[in-house]
Amino acid sequence: MNKPLQTFTTPSGDELVVLTRADYEQLVELAAQSDDDEDAELIRIADARMASAQERASLPAEVSRLLLGGMSVLKALRQWRDVGQVKLAYDIGSSQGFISDLESGRRAMTPEVRSRLAAALDVPESWLPSG
């Protein structure tokens, strides 16, 4: 684990760290050696998240590239599909300002809106953020 860390910041401000699978597994092994219940819980959470991520369909490379550039998931998917905010708003029965607010994080995505956006963009709902 002596490699330089690769990080990126999500549109919501969370800083994420990219690890190799070998580094991840080494961290899990080290944590498993601890008798601390808190470490065991963290391992359980990490394993659940890894399993969940593997179940989801992978994002297209172009969308991933846009995300790494700091773009929101919704905006990246919209641009990947070559759909403007006005057209997407019309397709889901909303306004361009609403789409802009979702993309900038000023509004949270409800389950209903998430479902309509997924249908309009022809992508799996799992690609869109929840809540």
Of the candidates 67, 63, 122, 65, the one whose C-alpha atom is nearest the C-alpha of residue 91 is 122
Q: What is the pLDDT of residue 53?
A: 57
- Asked whether the beta carbons of 104 and 114 are under 8 A apart, the reply is no
Left (φ > 0), alpha (ψ -120 to 50) or beta: where does 122 sit?
left
Indicate the pTM of the whole model: 0.58
User: Domains of the chain: which residue ranges?
Assistant: 6-55, 61-127
Report the CATH superfamily, name and number, of domain 61-127.
lambda repressor-like DNA-binding domains (1.10.260.40)
For residue 16, which phi and psi values (nearest 5 degrees)? -110, 150
Q: Extract the tokens encoding 77.
A: 């998917």
pLDDT score of 72: 92
**pLDDT in tens for each of the 131 residues of the chain?**
556 667 777 777 778 888 788 888 888 887 777 656 666 777 777 776 666 555 556 788 899 889 888 899 999 999 999 999 999 999 999 999 999 999 999 999 999 999 999 999 999 998 998 86
| The one-letter amino acid at 124 | P
Give the C-alpha separation, 119 to 125, whole Å. 8
